[in-house]
């Protein structure tokens, strides 16, 4: 008998905060605005990646895939390209929330 489906059901989800939900975490917003490269390094460290990867589209895609968040490579590229600080802050807020929930 061949197994054709993985056990369990994994529904796609969304990021836990919106792209422009700055007021959800003013500390992260300030961190991103005043020390954007440092925030990228913090995200990379959270994900056990090289510090240079924290601000890139691939780290967002890897995170999105790991937590089954809806989206596409094109969407990730456009978000990081046109709203880099917003995208980076959103990713950090999501990481922090998943840490609080014990699912990171």
Domain extents in the chain:
26-101
What pLDDT does residue 16 have?
95
Say what percent of the chain tops pLDDT 90.
Answer: 78
Write out 32-63 in H/E/C secondary structure.
HHHCHHHHHHHHHHHCCCCHHHCCCHHHHHHH
pTM for this predicted structure: 0.87
Neighbouring residues of 66: CB distance < 8 A, sequence distance ≥ 6: none
Q: Mean pLDDT over all residues of the chain?
A: 90
Q: Is 6 helix (H, G, I), strand (E, B) or coil?
A: coil
Average pLDDT over residues 28-36: 95
- Span 50-86, pLDDT tens digits: 888 888 899 999 999 999 999 999 999 999 999 999 9
- Token readout for 24 is 């959800």
What pLDDT does residue 51 have?
86
Place of tokens 């807020």: 93
């Amino acid at each position: 008998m061949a197994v054709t489906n993985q056990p369990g059901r994994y529904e796609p989800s969304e990021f836990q905060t919106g792209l422009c939900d700055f007021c959800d975490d003013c500390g992260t917003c300030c961190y991103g605005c005043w020390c954007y490269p440092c925030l990228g390094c913090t995200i990379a460290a959270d994900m056990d990646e090289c510090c240079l990867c924290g601000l890139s589209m691939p780290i967002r895609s890897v995170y999105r895939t790991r937590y089954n968040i809806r989206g596409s490579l094109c969407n990730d590229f456009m978000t990081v390209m046109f709203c880099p600080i917003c995208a980076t802050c959103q990713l950090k807020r999501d990481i922090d929330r998943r840490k609080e929930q014990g699912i990171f």
